[in-house]
């Protein structure tokens, strides 16, 4: 194992902060110089340690993978308990079951066994427990404000519901998220959960949220914080299943060869966690990045140019992203950990919407799966192999089929339960589609708890203040 005092100290990709501890990095979210926080170095896992890790159950493995990144910021027993509590809410002891997809070279990692049936639970169940623990130690309160178009809001709510010292306010566009997504948020009965349906679009919600975060006196007075995808703890929790998945595929296939992992991508968070696992020494041969028609990332890996386009709505909405908020972390490593160049390139990207790099990185390959491929893949795997994919996972499987790696098995990450996207699955399979989940059916009977408000700063700020005062 490397020097854990380095791997548990966090610096900014733009070089403008002194190193901070794991807990400070978690509470900071975005680095105060506008960059993203990264560990000062990656711990290197030796071969005999890896062999020991193979035999661990998921929560034990999570503890071992995370420990060098936490260092002495938390006692080991505390970290162990946090991890155990976070994954006890999953509906299977394996947490992330790994299965064969076609009986041959393709495997699938079911990342959807958490409370909201999507992979964001893997990170947000842990982040919620971590926030509560840090507040318990340091005192103080945290009031989370987020704007969502669907998946992230419900995973964040389920991560912090009922936690002492935490309130959560989630803004979403009234009438513009699916009824199912709204129910996953607004049926949660815990009094620390506040769903705000705004009379406007997702962009209106985002705008109001950003403006409130920019109102620094308001933000500080009301202890506002975010749970966005750049929080280091979210990346860290995701590193675990890359080790887990590669071990299980090697076991199932009876081969020692390193594994290719195919990742359907939006904000580059999930696949950056895979990059960290590779740097640590996980038995992974290559990361295969999969995008839908919003292909800024697959274009980058195939041409070297990262150029912003306009967002096109697809059947895999959680990947309908043009500017990937975690891309800067990768850029920093690609530039040889040169914070000065990272800052210059990112600032110029913010002005021009484009940046170019020379050379390639053999750790990555990339491809794109469009709407036709998504639908055909859902149909094919259901009819031929009896496996029901969700549209995000299907993008990944389509790209995996087109990009085999000689001598390697491929593990495809399945990021959501198909029951969360019944309309897309029905479009692929026709009426009477089997895409349903009992937990989602049950929500239909529960009452909604929400307020409907216009997306203006004074109204939303006033609602936050009054709600917090009512609970003080
Ligand atoms: C968020 C999400 C993704 C994309 O994950 P990133 O970390 O943004 O790359 C893919 N699939 C589903 C179902 C998601 O909710």
DSSP, collapsed to helix, strand or coil, labels residue 35 as coil
Confirm if 68 and 236 have CB atoms less than 8 A apart: no
CA-closest candidate to residue 216, choices 21, 32, 26, 23: 32
Give residue 412's region: left, alpha or beta (phi > 0; psi -120 to 50).
beta
So where are the chain's domains?
98-117+233-437
pLDDT tens digit at each of 472 positions of the chain: 434 459 999 999 999 999 999 999 999 888 989 899 999 999 999 999 999 999 999 999 999 999 999 999 999 999 999 999 999 999 999 999 999 999 999 999 999 999 999 999 999 999 999 999 999 999 999 999 999 877 889 999 999 999 999 999 999 999 988 889 999 999 999 999 999 999 998 889 989 998 998 898 999 999 999 887 899 999 999 999 999 999 999 999 999 999 999 999 989 999 999 999 999 999 999 999 999 999 999 999 999 999 998 889 899 989 988 888 899 999 999 999 999 999 999 999 999 999 999 999 999 999 999 999 999 999 999 999 999 999 999 999 999 999 999 999 999 999 999 999 999 999 999 988 889 999 999 999 999 999 999 999 999 999 999 999 985 4
Q: CB–CB of 136/161 below 8 Å?
A: no
Burial track 276-293 (b if 16+ CB lie within 10 A, e otherwise): bbbbbbbbbbbbbbbbbb
Q: Does 416 contact ligand 1 (Cβ within 6 A)?
A: yes
248 lines ligand 1 (CB under 6 A): no
Catalytic residue among 44, 99, 104, 120: 120
State how far the Cα of 43 lies from the Cα of 39, in Å rounded to an integer: 9
Here the tokens at position 177 are 């998220």
User: Ligand 1 centroid to 123 CA: how many Å?
Assistant: 11
Distances (CA, A) of 136 to 27, 133, 141, 165, 208: 13, 5, 9, 8, 30
Q: How far is CA 197 from CA 157, 175, 295, 456, in A?
A: 14, 8, 30, 12
Residue 469, C-beta contacts closer than 8 angstroms, at least 6 positions apart? none
What spacing in Å lies between the alpha carbon of 68 and ligand 1's midpoint?
26
Closest ligand 1 atom, residue 265 Cα: 9
Residue nearest to atom 1 of ligand 1 (CA): 318
Please say if 308 is a catalytic residue: no
- Tell me what pLDDT residue 5 has: 56
Alpha helices, DSSP H, located in 58-140: 58-70, 76-87, 120-138
Q: How far apart are alpha carbons 354 and 307 in whole angstroms?
A: 4
In eight-state DSSP terms, residue 321 is -
Structure tokens at 340: 């000065």
Query: Is the minimum distance from the CB of 120 to ligand 1 under 6 angstroms?
Result: yes
Q: Which residues sit opposite 410 in a β-bridge? A: 106, 260
Let me know: does 459 contact 197? Beta carbons within 8 Å. no
pLDDT of residue 472: 47
Pairing of strands 37-39, 9-12: antiparallel
Q: What is the CATH number of domain 98-117+233-437?
A: 3.40.50.1100
Q: Is 181 in the pocket of ligand 1 (CB under 6 A)?
A: no
Candidates 110, 112, 119: which one to mutate for ligand 1, based on the most atoms within 8 Å of Cβ?
119
- The confidence score (pLDDT) of residue 471 equals 59
Q: How far is the CA of 378 from the centre of ligand 1 (A)?
A: 18
The residues near 362 (Cβ < 8 Å, ≥ 6 apart) are: 286
Task: Please tell me if the CB atom of residue 266 comes closer than 6 angstroms to any atom of ligand 1.
Answer: yes
- 254 alpha carbon to ligand 1 midpoint, in Å? 30
Contact 413, 109 (CB under 8 A): yes
Question: Which atom of ligand 1 is closest in space to residue 416's alpha carbon?
Answer: 13
CB atoms inside a 10 Å sphere around CB 314? 21
Order of strands, edge to edge, in the sheet holding 98-100? 98-100, 106-110, 410-414, 259-264, 284-291, 364-368
- Between strands 98-100 and 106-110, the pairing is antiparallel
| Residues found in the chain | 472
If one residue of 108, 231, 266, 422 were mutated to test the ligand 1 pocket, choosing by the most ligand atoms within 8 A of its CB, it would be: 266
CA atoms of 271 and 287, how far apart (whole Å): 8
Q: Which atom of ligand 1 is nearest to the CA of 325?
A: 8
Residue 281 backbone phi and psi in degrees, to 5? 115, 20
Give SS3 for 456.
Answer: coil
């Amino acid at each position: 194992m490397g020097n854990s005092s380095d791997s548990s100290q966090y610096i900014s990709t733009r070089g403008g902060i002194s190193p901070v501890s794991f807990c400070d990095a978690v509470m900071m979210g975005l680095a105060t110089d506008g960059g993203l926080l990264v560990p000062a170095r990656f711990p290197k896992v030796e071969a005999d340690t890896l062999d020991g890790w193979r035999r661990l159950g998921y929560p034990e493995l999570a503890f071992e993978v995370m420990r060098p990144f936490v260092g002495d910021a938390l006692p080991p027993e505390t970290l162990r308990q946090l991890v155990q509590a976070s994954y006890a809410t999953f509906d299977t002891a394996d947490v992330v079951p790994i299965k064969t997809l076609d009986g041959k070279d393709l495997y699938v990692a079911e990342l959807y066994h958490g409370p909201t049936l999507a992979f964001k639970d893997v990170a947000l169940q842990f982040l919620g427990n971590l926030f509560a623990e840090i507040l318990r130690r340091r005192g103080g309160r945290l009031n989370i404000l987020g704007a969502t178009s669907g998946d992230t809001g419900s995973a964040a709510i389920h991560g912090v519901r009922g936690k002492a010292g935490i309130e959560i306010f989630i803004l979403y566009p009234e009438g513009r998220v699916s009824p199912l997504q709204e129910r996953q948020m607004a049926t949660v009965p815990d009094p620390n959960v506040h769903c705000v349906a705004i009379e406007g679009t997702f962009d209106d919600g985002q705008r109001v949220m950003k403006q409130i975060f920019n109102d620094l006196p308001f933000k500080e007075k009301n202890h506002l914080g975010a749970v966005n995808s750049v929080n280091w703890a979210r990346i860290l929790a995701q590193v675990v299943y890359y080790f887990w998945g590669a071990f299980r595929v090697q076991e199932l296939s009876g081969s020692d060869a390193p594994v290719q992992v195919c990742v359907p991508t939006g904000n580059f968070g999930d696949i950056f966690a895979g990059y960290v696992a590779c740097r640590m020494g996980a038995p992974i041969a290559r990361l295969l990045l999969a995008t839908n028609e919003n292909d800024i990332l697959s274009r980058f890996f195939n041409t070297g140019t990262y150029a912003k386009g306009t967002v096109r709505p697809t059947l895999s909405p959680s990947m309908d992203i043009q500017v990937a908020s975690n891309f800067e972390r990768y850029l920093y490593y690609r530039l040889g950990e040169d914070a000065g160049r990272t800052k210059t390139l990112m600032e110029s990207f913010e002005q021009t919407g484009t940046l170019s790099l020379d050379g390639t990185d053999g750790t990555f390959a990339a491809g794109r799966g469009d709407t036709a491929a998504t639908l055909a893949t859902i149909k094919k795997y259901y009819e031929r192999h009896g496996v029901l994919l969700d549209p995000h996972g299907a993008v990944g499987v389509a790209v995996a089929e087109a990009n085999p790696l000689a001598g390697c098995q491929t593990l495809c990450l399945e990021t959501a339960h198909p029951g969360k996207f019944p309309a897309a699955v029905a479009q692929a399979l026709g009426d009477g589609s089997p895409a349903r989940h009992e937990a989602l059916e049950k929500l239909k009977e529960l009452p909604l708890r929400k307020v409907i408000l216009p997306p203006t700063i004074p109204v939303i700020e006033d609602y936050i203040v009054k709600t917090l005062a009512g609970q003080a």
